[in-house]
Amino acid sequence: MSLLVRTRDDVATPATDSPSTGLPAAAGVAAVTVLTSLPVFLPGAANGLISSELGWSSARMGAVLASYWLASLSGAFVSKKAALPPVIERTLVVALGATCLGLLSAAAAPAVGLWLSSALGGFAYGYTQPHTNALLMRRCTPGLRAFAFGLKQAAVPAATLLSSMAMPTLAGPAGRLAGGVRRYGVALRRGRRLRIPEHRRA
Cβ-count burial of 106 within 10 angstroms (0-12 exposed, 13-18 middle, 19+ buried)?
buried
pLDDT per position as a tens digit, 121-166: 999 999 999 999 999 998 899 889 999 999 999 999 999 998 888 7
pLDDT per position as a tens digit, 101-128: 999 999 899 899 999 999 999 999 999 9
pTM of the entire structure? 0.71
CA distances in angstroms from 127 to 69, 91, 105, 131, listed in the order given? 12, 9, 21, 8
What is the chain's length?
A: 202
Contact yes or no for 103/117 (Cβ under 8 A): yes
pLDDT per position as a tens digit, 56-104: 998 999 999 999 999 999 999 998 878 888 888 899 999 999 999 999 9
